[in-house]
A and B are shown apart, each in its own frame.
Chain A
Amino acid sequence: MSAFDASEFLAGYLVEVEEHLSASTTNLLAVETSLHKGQNNPRAVRELFRSLHTIKGLSAMVGVESVVDIAHAMETVLRHADRAAGALSAEAVEALLAGLRAIDERVRALSAESPVAPAPAQLLDALAALEMTNEPAPTAVELDLDPALLAKLSAAEKAQMIQGAEAGRRVLRVDFVPSPARAADGINITSVRENIQTFAEIVKVLPLSVPKTEEAPGGLAFALLVLTDASDEKVAEAAATTPENVQALLTRHEGRAEAPGEAPFVEEDGVEADARKRGIVRVDVARLDDALERLSALVITRFRLMRAVDALAAQGVNVSELGEIVKGYGRQVRDLRGAIMRARMVPVAELLERVPLLVRGLSRGTKKPVRVEIDAGKAELDKAVAERIFPAIVHLIRNAVDHAIESPSERRHLGKNEEGVVRVTCFERSTNQLELGISDDGRGIDRASVAQRASRPLPESDAELLELITQPGLSTLDRATKTSGRGLGMDIVKRAVVELGGELSLRTTPGVGTTFTLFIPLTITIVDAFSFLCGEQTFVAPVAAIEEIVEVAPGELVRGPSRQTRFGEVRFMERRGEIVPLVNLASYFSLSAREAPKALLVRRNGLPLAFGIQRMVGQQEVVIRPLEDPLVKVKGVSGSTDLGDGRPTLVLDLLALCAALSQSRMEAAV
């Protein structure tokens, strides 16, 4: 006999249904927007139908009959609409919205373990009473497709392609041929579809039997029918094929729209129209990257201009007006850069939208009541940064619910509220840095147990503890849990943060709770940097990383305990009542380490460190280019930049150098 307990799947059920409900709301609103313009939205209707159908099936499995009834009634309306190429009346949209609300109420009740109300009879009647039409919209263009394939398309799908064409998009067919070799490289129909979806709307994918060849060992090809503005090359590349295999599918009726005098019939797709109404345009991030890349060239031109002006000034030429122009040009470039960077920004609140769902699922899975509090304010983050950092956030939240928050009985025993709290806060710390905090009110991290597991001495501070728990492979878990797997992964969190040029910090108090703070750069490409000389070479370092530039008075320096580090000798200086270790930056790069009359003061995990340098050169915006060659990857060097002299200048990551130094000190201490 098989063991099967539907309640085991409740958490998963809640997560999936919530996803479908949220997608359905978006789609239904898109239908409504199209309706206001007298248009159908076949794609949104089809998506809605599918979501409702899935909700119905899942609800039937876990035994939520009232949701099954509501979803079934809605599904019937949508099936008719799909057959009628997406036609829905305003009345139907209204009734469907009420249906989504009714399902949402019941799912919430289920999640709160409250009784679930039966399906409202009035709603079911209203849905049943809707008049169904089956009239597809008349079309003005024809699809040029193999009749055998054409026969496999529904009225709604044909309408979708024709509407797309009328809105000025290209209707294309591209074939993808799967093979075991491609599958091994991660290229399969799912990855191809996801790839194409980033720049095109896929109307339909049709499987085709083809003769078995070396190229097509499975005897299978997929014909993808898409709507897009992208080039044949781009479409072909995404489908792992060549542009000759991309085929246009459209023939227009004569005398229509092609004539230049006649205003073309341009209409937008529903979802985009909705966005347009609010003045929003969706842009492929690649285009913004392209714009930034071009801007980098402008920044470099500006440096060259400045040098040319300086050279003129050195010859005694009066450059005051030219200087003003160059300065103005600099401001304009800076503004332009700001504008492009802003276009790449997404609200952090949007990024964190899924967190409550995640916590709810985890809370059910672990049977610990957990409340989530999110305060993201108005902070925004570069989309690329957001995508890279989100998995780390998810990981920290999982850890908090799974491990940090105690069981309800344990909490009661400790005199805590049974309900645990996970808090996610976010604010812009400076114009270029975001501070993201993830805290819990759980048991705190047990230093002794971490130390024992790592076979290391007891960490003396939270910073040392963080170093330990972010070591690859360390786990403080005795056994794997369902949601956190093997409890590994703090090293992954750390790597995600560090790769972005950010920093991770930890504060934990036994019995009270733990806070991880992620300091993340808002954007990653261009930074304000100091340039300076060190061992007769020019380096740059981001302004944001440097707390202060200080004068070093040799007479006041104190020698430290004689320890050799990669930076040579460590000395100490006093700065505002604080003792600051001072190392000569030139030593690290094996440059001639002459006197270092200035120092860059950097603070990592609250501890100061000063890097001795020869002299400051200036402050400017620099474009950081990653070092491409892995062989020249040097710890503490985050990339290179061009200061306008055509030569690469190394961009230093002083925080990473701090880390390298403390490690080297630890080694020296062992």
Chain B
Amino acid sequence: MTEILVVDDSKVMREMIVACLRVVDDSTFTHAASGLEAIEKLALKPFDLVVLDLNMPDIGGFEVIEFIRGQDKLQRLPILVVTTRGDEGSRSRALSTGASQFMTKPFAPDAILANVRSLLRQDAAGGAP
């Protein structure tokens, strides 16, 4: 079972992301509409991958990444940032904070799917402890 957490304050955007990723084998999706909701869900339940927006009402995606990487058990969690902030500054900040991959909106369905599959593969190859 592949548990994917989709974090975006826009419901329709989350639905679009899920529509793109539905074909990932044996996947289930959990929605989070804010950065805080995402952090709460991550603290209480294990996930295999997070798709994360940067711009959210309460706390932004950067803070979510910082939090995730500050947790021992979440060190290896793949984080795919999907954002409208396509500038180089956001990109390098996201990656240096700990995002695994960075892509911009609008995204092509095939591209996000390929990114997610590759992150999940790497994670599996990286091996469980």
Contacts and interface: CB of A to CB of B under 8 A. Distances in A.
A178 interface: yes
Given A180-B44, A219-B71, A4 B19 contact: yes
B105 A50 contact: no
A220 B40 contact: yes
B43 A56 contact: no
A190 B39 CA distance: 11
A89 interface: no
B44 A183 contact: yes
A639 to B, nearest CB: 39
A190 B44 CA distance: 14
B36 A2 contact: no
A1 B111 CA distance: 11
Contacts of B19: 2-4, 8
Residue in B10, B59, B71, B109 whose Cβ sees the most chain A Cβ within 10 Å: B10
B16 to A, nearest CB: 6
B84 interface: yes
A217 B55 CA distance: 28
B37 A188 contact: yes
Contacts of B128: none
Contacts of B83: 57
Contact of B84 (A3, A53, A178, A217): A53
A57 B71 contact: no
Contacts of B107: 61
Interface stretch (A9-17, A305-313, A545-553, A625-633): A9-17
A560 B37 CA distance: 65
Interface in B97-114: 105-107, 109-110, 113
Given A2-B21, A2-B22, A189 B40 contact: yes
A219 B70 CA distance: 11
B94 to A, nearest CB: 15
Contacts of B57: 50
Contacts of B110: 1-2
A609 to B, nearest CB: 48
A601 interface: no
Residue in A53, A180, A204 whose Cβ sees the most chain B Cβ within 10 Å: A53
Interface in A145-197: 152, 178-180, 183, 188-190, 193
Given A12-B12, A183-B44, A209 B71 contact: yes
A117 interface: no
B81 to A, nearest CB: 13
Contact of B34 (A9, A15, A63, A190): A190
A63 B10 contact: no
A133 B34 CA distance: 30
A207 B39 CA distance: 8
A2 B113 contact: yes
A63 B108 CA distance: 12
A218 B12 contact: no
A204 B85 CA distance: 22
A60 interface: yes
A206 interface: yes
Interface in A201-223: 202, 204-207, 209, 217-220, 222
Interface string B62-93: 01000100110000000000011100000000
Residue in A4, A180, A218, A222 whose Cβ sees the most chain B Cβ within 10 Å: A4
A220 B113 contact: no
B3 to A, nearest CB: 15
Contact of B106 (A63, A183, A206): A63
A4 B109 CA distance: 7
Interface in A509-561: none
Given A2-B22, A2-B113, A57-B10, A207 B15 contact: no
Contacts of B105: 57, 60-61
Interface string B24-58: 00000000011011011001100000000101111
Contact of B37 (A61, A152, A189): A189
Nearest to A152: B63
Interface in A8-38: 8-9, 12-13, 15-16
Contacts of B15: 9, 12
Residue in B16, B36, B39, B110 whose Cβ sees the most chain A Cβ within 10 Å: B36
A218 B44 contact: yes
A494 to B, nearest CB: 29
B16 A61 contact: yes
A517 to B, nearest CB: 33
Nearest to A15: B12
A54 B37 contact: no
Nearest to B109: A4
Given A54-B9, A57-B105, 16 more contacts: A2-B23, A12-B11, A50-B55, A56-B84, A57-B55, A58-B10, A60-B105, A189-B36, A190-B33, A205-B58, A207-B36, A217-B44, A218-B40, A218-B44, A220-B39, A222-B40
Interface of B: 9-13, 15-16, 19-23, 33-34, 36-37, 39-40, 43-44, 53, 55-59, 63, 67, 70-71, 83-85, 105-107, 109-110, 113
* Top 3 closest pairs, chain A to chain B, by CB: A218-B43, A57-B84, A12-B12
27 contacts: A2-B19, A2-B22, A4-B16, A4-B19, A8-B19, A9-B12, A15-B12, A16-B12, A53-B55, A58-B10, A58-B13, A60-B105, A60-B106, A61-B105, A61-B107, A180-B44, A183-B40, A188-B40, A189-B36, A189-B40, A190-B37, A190-B40, A204-B59, A205-B59, A206-B63, A219-B71, A222-B39
